[in-house]
Amino acid sequence: MATFAAASAKPMAVIDSSQLNLSQKKLDGLRIGYAFAKRKDSSSLKVKSVSRINMTIATDVSRFEGVTMAPPDPILGVSEAFKADTNDLKLNLGVGAYRTEELQPYVLNVVKKAENLMLEKGDNKEYLPIEGLAAFNKATVELLLGADNNATKQGRVATVQGLSGTGSLRLAAAFIQRYFPGAQVLISSPTWGNHKNIFNDAGVPWSEYRYYDPKTVGLDFEGMIADIKAAPSGSFVLLHGCAHNPTGIDPTPEQWEKIADVIQEKNLTAFFDVAYQGFASGSLDQDASSVRLFVARGMEVFVAQSYSKNLGLYAERIGAINVVCSSSDAATRVKSQLKRLARPMYSNPPVHGARIVANVVGDPTLFNEWKSEMELMSGRIKGVRQRLYDNLSAKDKSAKDWSFVLRQIGMFSFTGLNKAQSDNMTNKWHVYMTKDGRISLAGLSLSKCEYLADAIIDSYYNVS
């Protein structure tokens, strides 16, 4: 629509009165209104200006016409579909968030105590430094590498608090893009759904290495080693520190040694994503053993951490990026550049979750309580995993080997179901899961295992 603006408005277009008729034709149907002014000595309205008319042209065409609709997130979209389902039997096994046996969200008791401690102290809400809370950074690197680790003692670790695992990965990706331009990141096939997005948005090229073997529903170790060996020198290899997402399949200690050998020989850099320390096995030390193996060899590594799962701090967005360097001088320089990257990205991190972690790890009593609660959560998932295996084995009359369910670790199980079979799980059985066949056992109760086993067996045998 085009209208004439009032005389007091800032003119956007000026049309000579002698050309008005021609302009009206050219505007092809656009409505034109004249601006009138009321004379002081008359109540009648007259045209204020004959020779010059101010006109403002407004259109109905949005500047965002070229913006297309983004596809739904493959993981978070599962929860939206689950909420819309009114069937009483529905199960949400898509999102990786811990649930109680009653399938309710769980806030750790130790977290509540840490928060009460914060209230008692009267902690303020002032900005943190760019690198985050000092007490958190100290606690997180010691939790990862051990308090007596030489790299920590020698000041060879650059640690910056990040926005959980995702933000920490993204900050490291920006660092790689800036200081190692053209270097590629090798990512396991399959991997967590957000890994590729993170490196794509950072402008970091990536390729895949073989990981999952559909024939055995296990690790394709030979393929993995061959692909890492074939990587260009200077590449980064993204590794899941424990509880591989989505497969739940981890290398053995002996296989980790071989992986470290190849990465060291080929002059590559390991980049660990540690999202489940203590949550996978129930042991903080065991779940960090892969990272500590590489650091003990004197290798420089990147490690992204998250406290979403092991402390249940999903919404607090608390994590860290650690870069283990060969010298304290290098660590100081790396940290300075990570801070430089963080400043225009998000300025500085949130404080609440950082204080929770610092309080829990820094207090021996709370720390021991936390370890007990992690064992409880990990133990519940192990119990559900065992029950699901028992139900599958009892119901399947074809003698199929379902033992891969027990060999997997952490909150996820890779069922081996394809997209069509996964769709059947949802459409017929109201079991919501990602389309790659991954299910979150953290969202399953013992009482629902038999129902899930029926759904899996029906989908596996009756849908191709």
Q: Give the catalytic positions in this structure.
A: 192, 273, 309
DSSP state of 305: E
Spatial distance between the Cα atoms of 362 and 142, rounded to a whole number of angstroms: 11
Q: At which residue do the structure tokens 């695992």 appear?
A: 165
Q: Confirm if 203 and 182 have CB atoms less than 8 A apart.
A: no
Q: How many CB atoms lie within 10 A of CB 342?
A: 25
Q: For residue 271, list its beta bridge partners.
A: 238, 302
- Look up residue 358 and give its amino acid: A
Residue with tokens 């490690």: 303
Report the distance separating Cα 190 and Cα 209, nearest Å.
9
Chain centre to alpha carbon of residue 383: 27
- Say if residues 454 and 395 touch (Cβ distance below 8 Å): yes
Position 5, amino acid:
A
Residue 9 DSSP code: S
* C-alpha–C-alpha distance, residues 444 and 461, integer Å: 22
Distance, CA of 159 to CA of 155 (rounded, Å): 10
> Exposure of 397 by Cβ count < 10 A (0-12 exposed, 13-18 middle, 19+ buried)?
exposed
Question: Residue 72 corresponds to which amino acid?
Answer: P
What would the two tokens of residue 103 be? Answer: 């399938």
**Would you say 271 and 172 are in contact if contact means Cβ atoms under 8 Å apart?**
yes
